[in-house]
Structure 1
Amino acid sequence: MAIAQYGVVVLDARDPQALAEFYAGLLGWQVGELEGDWIEVAGPQGRMLAFQTAPDLVPPDWPSGERSQQLHLDFRVPRDRIEEAEREALELGAKLVQHDEGKRDFRVYLDPEGHPFCLCLH
């Protein structure tokens, strides 16, 4: 029997509302209400991401390793939509930090707060 059930991934943010809106736009999910220092983004089948206020957040310094990424999120994208997905992610405020160069099946980005995430070919 499992000890626990998976709940939610929570990311620290200087501006949790803005980061929630970024991920809601990226995933097509719905932004909830800001409750104190906490906000959630809800997707299908009960999937959720949450964001909490961390005014002194020091983002990872990926890929240098000086301040390791500690965590990153992978999002699947159909192979034939990767260019469109990248363009939309950049328009939302993502920063491309590692292109796949045709050698890998993923591209690495930073969200507006500096957390790394990947668009992975699916």
Structure 2
Amino acid sequence: MSIGKVGAVVLDCPDPVALARFYAELVGGSVEDDGDGWVDLKGADGAQLAFQSAAGHVPPKWPSAKDSQQFHIDVMVEDMDAAEERVLALGATTLDAEDRKRSFRVYADPAGHPFCLCAC
């Protein structure tokens, strides 16, 4: 028997509203700002995401044995090329997407957190 369940995946970032808007475009949902440095993404399928203001936020590096990525989010998509085009237009950056035959591609969100687009 488990002790509990995942309530939300929370990402530290310099601008929680902007990052929540990025993820709302990526996975759906609506942005709910509490006005005090905490923003929830409500109504999206999958695990709940939340974003909190972190002064002096330093994004993780990928790949790096010294500065680990800490965590990443896998986003399942039907069309990898179309999804890539959209996330890049939203402000994501490519970290590792050169091998077009793999079932995943690695990007960073606008605050530097790694995430993967994965083929369904």
TM-score, normalised relative to structure 1: 0.90
Q: Which has the higher helix share?
A: 1
SS at match of 1:62: coil
The answer on 1:49 being equivalent to 2:49 is: yes
Report the equivalent of 1:24.
24
CA displacement at 1:14 relative to structure 2: 0.5
CA displacement at 1:41 relative to structure 2: 0.5
CA displacement at 1:97 relative to structure 2: 1.0
Report the equivalent of 1:83.
81
Output the amino acid matched with 1:92: L
CA displacement at 1:43 relative to structure 2: 2.7
CA displacement at 1:33 relative to structure 2: 2.2
SS at match of 2:100: coil
Where structure 2 has 5 or more consecutive residues not aligned to the other structure, the ranges are: none
CA displacement at 1:55 relative to structure 2: 1.3
CA displacement at 1:61 relative to structure 2: 1.3
Deviations 1:20-75 (A, max 9, x none): 00000111211112330100001346742000000111111111333110100001
User: Mean alpha-carbon deviation: is it higher for 58-67 or for 83-92?
Assistant: 58-67
Separation of aligned partners in 2, 1:86 and 1:29:
19
SS at match of 1:21: helix
RMSD: 1.6
Report if the CA contact (8 A) 1:17-1:34 is conserved. Answer: no
Separation of aligned partners in 1, 2:47 and 2:107:
22
Report the equivalent of 1:110.
108
Separation of aligned partners in 2, 1:110 and 1:38:
21
Deviations 1:99-122 (A, max 9, x none): 151342100000000000000011
2:118 alignment partner, one of 101, 117, 120: 120
Output the amino acid matched with 2:83: A
User: Mean alpha-carbon deviation: is it higher for 59-68 or for 22-31?
Assistant: 59-68
Report if the CA contact (8 A) 1:30-1:43 is conserved. Answer: yes
Report the equivalent of 2:15.
15
Separation of aligned partners in 2, 1:68 and 1:20:
23
Separation of aligned partners in 2, 1:74 and 1:97:
14
